[in-house]
Structure 1
Amino acid sequence: MTLTPQWLDELRARTSLSTLIGKTVKVQKAGREYKACCPFHNEKTPSFTINDEKGFYHCFGCGAHGDAIRWMTDQRGLPFMEAVKELAATACMEVPAADPRAAKRAEQAKGLHDAMGAAQGFFEEQLAGIDGGDARAYLAKRGISDATRRTFGFGYSPDSRGKLKGALKEFGEPMLVEAGLLIAPDGERDTYDRFRGRLMLPIRDIRGRVIAFGGRIIGQGEPKYLNSPDTPLFDKGRTLYNIDRASPASRQSGRVIVVEGYMDVIALAQAGFGDAVAPLGTALTEHQIERLWKMVEVPILCFDGDAAGQKAAIRAATRALPLLRPGHSLAFATLPAGQDPDDLLRAEGPRAMDAVLAGAQPLVDRLWEHEQKVGPLDTPEQKAALKQRLAAHSDSIQHPDVRALYAQTFRERYDALFFARPDRFGGGQRAPRGSGGGDSRAGWQRDKKGNWKPPVPPAGNEAREIGANGMEHRLLRAILASLLRDPKQIILHRETLSGLRIGDPALAQLLDAMIAASFRKETVETQALLTILGQGDLYNMAKGMLRADTFTFTPHRMTTDPSRVQRDLDEAIRVMAQGPELETALAEATRRFESDFSEENFAEQQRIRALKADHDSRLAELAQSEDIV
């Protein structure tokens, strides 16, 4: 398919932009132009202008600007080709086909769309007729208004094996079977209607065309909900219910709510939440997650508070992990136990739903909370299992920066949960992380010249300084050399590095200078970092550490797994910080036990002693690792 500039210009020329925009926005004539309140941001005084002659719109408030195609992609949320096709159909223009086979497929799809549209009309007629009485009563019982019924296109399929087949006979049985409207049994038996005795809901694509149906049984029977099978028009793993309405609504709200089913979406829409969608009877798929991210960067998953709902939330979380990238994630809002959105809205109204959505958890918090509740955390084996599960989550993330930050977050929370961590920053609490995450100053202050200076260790801190034994000194030099080779790692670990008390004055000075330099944006490359360090002793020491034979966390064989090397560096920094802290905690526990020989104090002393032994073992493993040279 080749869309030439001339063809696109002709499409724009045949499209009345004011008419197109006027379908969804109230426009007013203003001289030779039209004006309206901007649909891309909230305003009371119109600053949005439409110029039919020039074929563009412009908002003087938020800067939104574009032509007819841009309107369809930005406001309607259509992919480019879908936007072009819809405009071309309105303008009675033929979209160039790539080849005869593509043209045949397009013609076939057009026929299927026509059949689905005719079926939708039939179902709506049946709902309004004598046979639809029970279905109408069910809708009234659920509190579905007539306006909502019309908006979502509710219909009814009679409890008959052939009424739809007879009503749509002009399309032919093969096409109706292919559309999923008829079932063709094996053998010589006749085809028959798929949907019988059900309240019918059309499932639409992003352009608002009916591509499938969902049918709910009226009264007793199984299955409770029946969806169309996959067809040339419908792939349930790639489709989201209500995507055609939620996509433009999300551009107003900046939000997308993902709920479990059709009726949840409809109840929310009736209460004023027009930006809700639902998967179609399956767990949220990778394709659906990517589709959501085209609408907003952090969709809110709002599943029921029961065990099944929370299980679905965790399935979605783990499925999203490999796809995460900067800025794109999921948030999780949990409904009260035993309630779905309709229950909550009926009982407490829209404000209660707003409160649930406002309390949505970030993905990292939901995973941490879930893994803590998997089982007891009393024994070393159970604690190790938690650590392993968390590592599996972070390891599944493909983007290196996001993966490293998840690993760091899980590691910090794990340490805070199980290890006695003396205060490195004073005041009895850990220093709060800055609102910018990795840009936390961790106790650093500027001097009179504006340079960053490291924190002064608080008085009375009995933790010994790092580097007192050969293993620690060797590992410390490897860490510093690795940070010099990849300065981005300094930012990721800055808070932990800032708390290290190093016995070797030269190494301590070098680390302080590296951390201070890391606050400057240009230090993401080694050479820039060396330039900042200057030409004195620190520069010479750093250059020496960059020699090829320096002991460092760097892949040295083609078979070395870079992600494993990264994990070892992360753990080496953590282990380096833990050593003095564990010794301080052990000394304190021993003092308590010697002053009070209680069973509780003895158990605490032995617990910390076991942690210290594990730490020393891991320190030795890292210092002699075959993946560092």
Structure 2
Amino acid sequence: MALSPQWLDELRSRITLSGVIGRTTRLTKTGREWKACCPFHNEKTPSFTVNDEKGFYHCFGCGAHGDAIRWMTDQRGMPFMDAVKELAAEAGMEVPAPDPRMAKAAEQRASLHDVMAAAQAWFVDNLASPAGAQARAYLDRRGISAAAIREFGFGYAPDDRGAIAKALSGFSKPMLIEAGLLIDVEGKDPYDRFRGRLMLPIQDRRGRVIAFGGRILADVPNAPKYLNSPDSPVFDKGRTLYNLHRAAAASRQSDRIVVVEGYMDVIALAGAGMGEAVAPMGTALTENQLELIWRLVPVPVLCFDGDSAGQRAALRAIARALPMLKPGHSLSIVTLPEGLDPDDLIRRDGAQAMSALLSKGETLVDAIWRFERDALPLRTPEDKAGLKARLIDHTETIQNPDIRSLYRRELLDRYGAFAFPPRPPREKPAFQKGRARFDQRTTFTAPSDRLRQLTPAAVRSRMISALLVGLARFPKTIAEEGERLAGLHPEDRGQALLLDAMLEVAETRKFAVEIDSQPLETTDVAAILQERGLALPDRESIGGMKFAFLSDQPGEPEATRELVQAIELLVEKPAIEIALAEATARFAEDPEGAYAEQQRLLKRKLEFERRLMQMAATRANASAT
């Protein structure tokens, strides 16, 4: 049978916890408890307590907490089963025989750990060999010290499709495939997943190698910069955080966990004395990963790059965290200056600047307000009502009723102050004797459907619908024009959701880990849209426009060219409007200069709208003929 909860409870009841801990830590009796200086962090005043009646230890300084088994695994570094066996022998209990199926699974995992350990040793040897010269040169350019190379276990995978099978010939090829070191293609010999890459081991909480991440060194077209191991019996990328085994210990000193975007960010922070950094596996932060870091600290710091991809990653992490919020647990959001990653900032401004930035993170509610307020233009009452709807949508995902109501009130208070600012008092006009007062009213006729379709806003909406259909048909353009598309900001919520989904699938493919550098396909886009319950615009909403990228027999070069041209036109309008708003805001300080800038931008805006409508009209006429 397996180790049941009842059996483990019996084991704990037969063990005197203070006796187990007292073998390596000096305890002092105080009432019903024992006290000591915490063995998990440096302190001068004892804050570590042991309670034999309740069967647990706790440190009020660093938060370390657990029972006798946890003490053996965390403080003495023993594997779980070794700890159980040692305590069982002390308690005079027989360890039950494991379930055969569980034993087989454990044996399989153990053998895969052996494979990964052997692969790691081989990668490290390669880095030190003449073949690893290019990888060593890259590490030198990045300023990574010899100590960091040893600490993080850097290695090198040679550019050879059959090298690892030869090097690890003691293991079968099926085992190497299951470990993710070989790729199995039907009808062909398995070949190396990692080739010509700087290698980093990914380790579990016990420090065992369970996967690898590889950075490409040569300039190979269409090859992903970073490649991770696929999921395996020992590796689940959604439940694993890079460097967690080191960061957990460091967090007890700093009372902080910092989540960054990539491996090299973690290593840069460690080099600057901040060893409490972790990173997800090239994907958005998952619910399981959030749970892992919340067990260590109540308010982890999420530190993302200032570019559009980093901001989208931050917003996705916030969306995942909201349903899980509980009293005392939240997130702090730090955004780096645009164009800089942690390594760049540390090199430019020093470790103190990075530490200061991490200490000044936004609260979760501040970040939600900023993201949604800046997401779309807010010129009309409809725009502002859309902002309110988006804010309420966020609060409705929060499961805890108290936190949900507090978030709703806070965000709606901010919305009210923004949408309905206090007006200055008006002076009443002096009454003039003998002046007639009358009410002039004019009756206006509503514009026809045809006129509404000809407005710049309607034309822009139809072109965005056409563009989304074209991007789904030629998804390579999404990746190539991702930065530009991130600035599009459709005013229609449905269009915005479609665009965000397309950008996400393109970004995820950039970090593809389970296949060998495959281009983004139409089916990938269709799958994620279907998964989210989204549908592409129909022909009626496009309004009869006939672009090459909508043709049933498109020529890819012409279609791509027209897609890029449409993106350029559509992205220009928000940029002009932002610049106009900035020029208007400068009127009080520089009226003459602000007026000249405003007139120039208005002229550009009119020219943009003329070009946009001309392009739409040309295509509509082409459709009619």
Q: For the residues of structure 2 that align with 1:13 and 1:115, how far apart are their CA atoms?
A: 39
| CA shift in 2, pair 1:59/1:205, >3 Å | closer
SS of the residue corresponding to residue 212 of structure 1 reads strand
SS of the residue corresponding to residue 248 of structure 2 reads helix
Q: Specify the code of the residue in structure 1 equivalent to 2:219.
A: Q
1:366 CA displacement: 0.3
SS of the residue corresponding to residue 327 of structure 2 reads coil
1:7 CA displacement: 8.2
1:211 aligns with 2:207: no
8 Å CA contact retained: 2:196, 2:218: no
| CA shift in 2, pair 1:61/1:322, >3 Å | closer
8 Å CA contact retained: 1:58, 1:65: yes
Alignment of 1:15-30 (within 5 A): none
8 Å CA contact retained: 1:97, 1:103: no
Residue 87 (structure 1) aligned to one of 40, 61, 83: 83
1:200 aligns with 2:196: no
Q: For the residues of structure 1 that align with 2:141 and 2:185, how far apart are their CA atoms?
A: 36
| CA shift in 2, pair 1:412/1:61, >3 Å | closer
Name the structure 2 match of 1:109: 109
Name the structure 2 match of 1:228: 229
8 Å CA contact retained: 1:300, 1:332: yes
1:291 aligns with 2:292: yes
Name the structure 2 match of 1:518: none
8 Å CA contact retained: 2:11, 2:87: no
| CA shift in 2, pair 1:135/1:420, >3 Å | closer
8 Å CA contact retained: 2:333, 2:367: yes
8 Å CA contact retained: 1:249, 1:274: yes
Q: For the residues of structure 1 that align with 2:323 and 2:308, how far apart are their CA atoms?
A: 24
**Alignment length (residue pairs):** 408
TM-score, normalized by length of structure 1? 0.58
1:27-81 deviation per Cα after TM superposition (whole angstroms, max 9, x unaligned): 8999xxxx9963455424788799xxxx9989798997866523357769x9xxx
1:14 CA displacement: 14
SS of the residue corresponding to residue 143 of structure 2 reads coil
Unaligned runs of 5+ in 1: 22-26, 429-629
| CA shift in 2, pair 1:60/1:5, >3 Å | same
8 Å CA contact retained: 2:62, 2:252: no
1:244 aligns with 2:240: no
1:19 CA displacement: 12
SS of the residue corresponding to residue 237 of structure 2 reads coil
| CA shift in 2, pair 1:207/1:402, >3 Å | same
8 Å CA contact retained: 2:73, 2:80: no
Q: For the residues of structure 1 that align with 2:49 and 2:322, how far apart are their CA atoms?
A: 42
Q: Specify the code of the residue in structure 2 equivalent to 1:87.
A: A
| CA shift in 2, pair 1:193/1:317, >3 Å | same
Q: Specify the code of the residue in structure 2 equivalent to 1:200.
A: M
Name the structure 2 match of 1:499: none
Unaligned runs of 5+ in 2: 29-34, 426-625
1:274-333 deviation per Cα after TM superposition (whole angstroms, max 9, x unaligned): 110001111111111122211111111001111211111111111211111222221101
| CA shift in 2, pair 1:264/1:12, >3 Å | farther
Q: For the residues of structure 1 that align with 2:8 and 2:210, how far apart are their CA atoms?
A: 31
Name the structure 2 match of 1:162: 162
Alignment of 1:27-426 (within 5 A): 38-40=38-40, 42-44=42-44, 68-71=68-71, 84-85=80-81, 87-88=83-84, 96=96, 98-187=98-187, 189-221=188-220, 222-421=223-422
Q: For the residues of structure 1 that align with 2:100 and 2:419, how far apart are their CA atoms?
A: 67
Q: For the residues of structure 2 that align with 1:66 and 1:300, how far apart are their CA atoms?
A: 25
1:5 CA displacement: 5.3
Larger Rg: 1
1:167 CA displacement: 1.8
RMSD: 3.7
Q: Specify the code of the residue in structure 2 equivalent to 1:230.
A: D
SS of the residue corresponding to residue 227 of structure 2 reads strand
SS of the residue corresponding to residue 232 of structure 1 reads coil
Q: For the residues of structure 1 that align with 2:119 and 2:14, how far apart are their CA atoms?
A: 31
- Percentage identity across paired residues of the two chains: 60
8 Å CA contact retained: 1:39, 1:252: no
Q: For the residues of structure 1 that align with 2:217 and 2:422, how far apart are their CA atoms?
A: 60
| CA shift in 2, pair 1:297/1:97, >3 Å | farther
1:548-585 deviation per Cα after TM superposition (whole angstroms, max 9, x unaligned): xxxxxxxxxxxxxxxxxxxxxxxxxxxxxxxxxxxxxx
8 Å CA contact retained: 1:323, 1:397: yes
Q: Specify the code of the residue in structure 1 equivalent to 2:240.
A: T
Alignment of 1:570-609 (within 5 A): none
Alignment of 1:419-434 (within 5 A): 419-421=420-422
Name the structure 1 match of 2:587: none
| CA shift in 2, pair 1:75/1:292, >3 Å | farther
| CA shift in 2, pair 1:15/1:398, >3 Å | closer
8 Å CA contact retained: 1:124, 1:153: yes
1:439-497 deviation per Cα after TM superposition (whole angstroms, max 9, x unaligned): xxxxxxxxxxxxxxxxxxxxxxxxxxxxxxxxxxxxxxxxxxxxxxxxxxxxxxxxxxx
Q: Say which is worse superposed, 320-329 or 150-159, in terms of deviation.
A: 320-329
| CA shift in 2, pair 1:177/1:404, >3 Å | same
1:154 CA displacement: 0.8
